[in-house]
Amino acid sequence: MRDFLRRLPKAELHLHIEGSLEPELMFSLAERNGVSLPYASVEEVRTAYDFSDLQSFLDLYYQGMSVLRTAEDFHDLAMDYFRRARAEGVVHVEMHFDPQAHLARGVGLPVIMEGLNLARRHAERELSLSSALIMAFLRDRPAEEAMSVLETAAPYWEMLDAVGLDSAEQGNPPAKFIEVYERARRLGIPRVAHAGEEGPADYIREALDLLDVCRIDHGVRCLEDPALVSRLRDEGVVLTVCPLSNVRLKVVERLEDHPLPKLLDAGLRLTLNSDDPAYFGGGMLANFEACTDAFGWSKEVFIQLAGTAIEAAFISQERRLELRRQLAHAH
């Protein structure tokens, strides 16, 4: 089964590229850029990766990204993840990035975009790995700031495959970002949003109704609202679920308690993703293997999940056909 899961062509739709920063690279970039870290060793950083909730993770996450200063840093960050992902059978990666967290440190959009886009081209050429770019807004920051970032990104609108909404969900409903998402809609940029991770099921409904999103990131709390579950099923809305992340951030205590089997039984369209692999216990393969151990799923279930990701990905029809062919040979 493990060999099969490694070979299975996997598309990852929910990844935060800053959350792929492994401690080894963090120390290397800190040295390159003369940034002092509050940790003495790689082991000390890993010990700090024991989170009680989403906020305790975010505190470390923003601290870690302080080492990212130059276009070369963003290139190296993305390539480090792309190489690991490709070795695990990942064929396509859709990466969120958080411009506000970098702008606040004096790192401008041109630096971020140059580094990430260079890595994307290298990954396509060297690894046969396609990718998409999702510019995420920090929901615990003012909506006016998000709008300003979207306008500042005008030179890069054509490069954005979607906009997203992430960071601290509690008390930051999707409704706060109606105008920003309406602006993105008018620009023809697809929209996704984190909802129903720590926040209530009603945030999922808000994201659909008020932000007009085409995918829900996480969405696991939809089960608290049977009418919402029926709607998600009837409309074929894809949920990008992150199993190991949900355990690490105490959305569930153990993976065996995860609602994934119930979500599947309800007929919902799901994908498996790593979220922030450096912080949450591993990449795509680790998440797939953990689900094998927890739920005992058959190969057919994993093929279904991988197929859903390919269908929901921001890719050309030509690439989709290519990935469908790869999946057809996965048995």
Active site residues: 197
List the beta bridge partners of residue 95. Answer: 15, 133
Q: How many CA within 13 A on the CB side of residue 209? A: 10
CA distances 261 to 22, 29, 287, Å, are 30, 40, 14
For residue 176, count other CB atoms closer than 10 A to its CB: 20
**Among 196, 149, 190, residue whose Cα is nearest residue 174:** 196
What is the token pair recorded at 188? 């023809």
- Residue ranges with strand state E in the chain: 10-16, 90-97, 130-138, 162-166, 192-195, 215-218, 238-241, 269-272
- Residues in CB range of 278: below 8 A, 6 or more apart: 19, 20, 21, 22, 23
215-218 and 192-195: which strand pairing?
parallel
**Among 248, 226, 252, 222, residue whose Cα is nearest residue 237:** 222
| C-alpha–C-alpha distance, residues 283 and 16, integer Å | 12
Q: Which residue is listed with tokens 């990204």?
A: 65
Q: Which residue is listed with tokens 């990852």?
A: 12
Q: How far is CA 209 from the centre of its chain?
A: 22
- Residues in CB range of 59: below 8 A, 6 or more apart: none
Rg (CA), the chain: 19
